Amino acid sequence: MAADAQEPTGWPVRVRQWWVRAFHYEGSERHVLLLTCKSTLAATLAWVISHYALDAPSPAFAPFSAVTIMYVTVYQSVTQSLRYVGAVAAGVAVQAALGFLTGPDLLTFVLVAVIALSIGRSQVLGVQGPQVATAAFFAFSTYSSASDDATRITQLGEIVLLVLIGCAIGTAVNVTIAPPMRYRSAEYGVQTLARALYDLSADMPPALRAGAPEADTVRRWRERAAQTDDLIAQARAGVVTAKESVHYNPRRLLRRHRGHLTFQLYETVLNALERTLHQLASLTRSLDQWREAENDYLYRHFLDRYAAFLEAVSEFALALSTLDETTLPQQSRRLAGLSREAQARRREVADEAEAQRLPLADPTRPYGVLVVEATRLMEEVQSTSDTLYAWAEA
């Protein structure tokens, strides 16, 4: 009963916190609020023009179109509005052609559906393909309810006109009022992957120092490594969105950045991080092949060295998770120092394996594979560091 009594007060608090974040912080809440306001404005303007100015019988086509093409980037709004208009025009044209040839009967509807759905599968129209059939069905309903051919032609043409008006208004609002700039989404993607690398690499050293990791621990590492594929896909989508947000966007003139060079940097770092995460996943699979043995305690020094190496990698990943273009020169020098530290720890791993004459060729033990994995992992860390340093000093 106490929980039920507190529930009404919980919702107002969460709502207030949402609005506070929307007004005071750059984040998803502000993006949602801004998109909602812009869509409302575009839909209202489209309705006023279609209903009051044109006195259209079906004015809803205009506001619906205005909201439909309100995408997260100006580039997408422009390209998708063109495709949307093309899809609607194609659907109306199919209905008009068949309607005047065969009349508004059931056979005509079947033919309209087959042809419109076939056109909608065209790659040229992309995600707007289904709108061909939608427009054709609305056009069929309009055609069937009209009393004469002149009225039918007028109303079918009016559908295309209203869609054009809605798309034009939606695009204009998106371009002129706080045009969305997702320039830093590429940076956020890199930060997210670096954080995932840190979380996993920082979790492994304590278990290695305790000896051979338990099966449950290694299985948990493998599961976490496998989950990074989704993060990689999201990060790549962030780079694509960042690139698109610059095209046709007037706000790009207000920013001072290196344009495509910055995106090339993020893509290069993203590729290196992807390889690093895959290498770490391979390392967890190698640990999963561990076989307990009575003399494992003889190799504790090797495991300590390996844990120190992974700690150095995690420190590098932690620093990379705060990547910021505005302070990149300072960050690149710090990352270079952390990379040299990781390289020193990697050499200690190889030296310890050689000094103790570990069974590197024994396939039932992971030592040989771990030495190779450390070398490959270090290569990716070094590549990332070199890329950032070269770009910052250019």
pLDDT digits (tens, 9 = 90+) for 29-54: 777 888 899 999 999 999 999 999 99
Q: How far apart are the C-alpha atoms of 162 and 169, rounded to whole Å? A: 11
pLDDT of residue 4: 46
CA angle 15, 183, 228 (to 5 degrees): 75
Calculate ∠ Cα 250-254-257, nearest 5°.
110
Q: pLDDT of 131-184, one tens digit each?
A: 999 999 999 988 888 878 888 899 899 999 999 999 999 989 988 887 766 666
Taking CA atoms, 245 is separated from 175, 250, 351, in Å, by 11, 10, 49
In whole angstroms, give the CA distance from residue 162 to residue 142. Answer: 14
11-25, 58-72, 156-170: segment of lowest average pLDDT: 11-25
Core vs surface per residue 128-138: b (16+ CB within 10 A) or e: bbebbbebbbb
Q: Is the pLDDT of residue 221 over 90?
A: no
Confidence of residue 86 (pLDDT cuts 50, 70, 90): very high
- Cα separation, 347 vs 367, in Å, equals 15
Give the domains, in start order, of the chain with CATH numbers.
9-176 (no CATH), 185-249+257-393 (1.20.58)
Confidence grade of residue 119 (pLDDT, cut at 50, 70, 90): very high
Amino acid at 340: R
Furthest C-alpha separation in the chain: 96
- How much is the pTM? 0.60
Query: So what's the pLDDT on residue 260?
Result: 45
What is the average pLDDT score of the chain? 82
What are the Cα distances from residue 4, in Å, to 1, 7, 11, 142?
Answer: 5, 5, 12, 52
Q: Which residues contact 320 (CB under 8 A, 6 or more apart)?
A: 190, 191, 194, 197, 269, 273, 335, 384
Give the span between the Cα atoms of 191 and 212, in whole angstroms.
Answer: 31
Confidence of residue 246 (pLDDT cuts 50, 70, 90): low
Task: State the Cα–Cα distance between residues 292 and 295, nearest whole angstrom.
Answer: 9
Q: How far apart are CA 88 and CA 2, in angstroms?
A: 55
Amino acid at 192: T
User: Radius of gyration over alpha carbons of the chain, in Å?
Assistant: 30
In angstroms, the CA 297 to CA 294 distance is: 8
Name residue, tokens 């040989």. 368
Q: Is the pLDDT of residue 295 over 70?
A: no
Confidence class for position 358, pLDDT limits 50, 70, 90? confident
